[in-house]
Amino acid sequence: MPDSYTETTLKYFPERCINCRRCTQVCPHRVFAEGPDHAELVRPSACMECGACALNCPVQAIEVQSGVGCAWAMISAALRGKDMDSCSCGGDEGSCCGERKNPSTCCEIK
């Protein structure tokens, strides 16, 4: 059976890393681990593309096209002829999924 979740848009450039370890603190899926000289990319396929590591890397050693992995949001966007990639979950005006007043279904664990 095919696995759709083996590849992501995460890119890591270890030569730029200054070993501040912020990526290991913000990643919710242990994608990065601490190393002696620089962070190590240990579980790339576990990346959910939340974008926390790239946003908190002070030297741009990480790149990722962040977004929400929500089929509902993407299918609704596609059906309305909007861009699947610029769509976010939830019910704000301006998001392409405005009709579902349901921001919480996405990732409501807290």
Closer residue to other proteins (CB): 39 or 51: 51
CB of 41 to other proteins, least distance (A): 15
H helical segments located in 12-89? 22-26, 52-56, 71-79
User: Does residue 35 contact residue 56 with C-beta atoms inside 8 Å?
Assistant: no
Instruction: State how far the Cα of 8 lies from the Cα of 66, in Å rounded to an integer.
Output: 10
Whose Cβ is closer to other proteins: residue 15's or residue 71's? 71
Judged by the rule CB under 8 A, the positions of this chain that interact with other proteins are 1-5, 7-9, 22, 24-30, 46-52, 55-56, 58, 65-75, 78, 84-85, 88-92, 95, 100-110
**Least distance to other proteins from the beta carbon of 75, Å?**
6
- Tokens at residue 92, please? 């704000």
Strand residue runs (E) in the chain: 11-12, 32-33, 40-41, 62-63
Angle subtended at Cα 9 by Cα 64 and Cα 77, rounded to the nearest 5 degrees:
90
Which is nearer to other proteins, 38 or 47 (by Cβ)? 47
| Nearest residue (CB) to other proteins, 36 versus 110 | 110
Minimal distance, residue 44 CB to other proteins, in Å: 11
Closest contact distance (angstroms) between CB of 82 and other proteins is 14
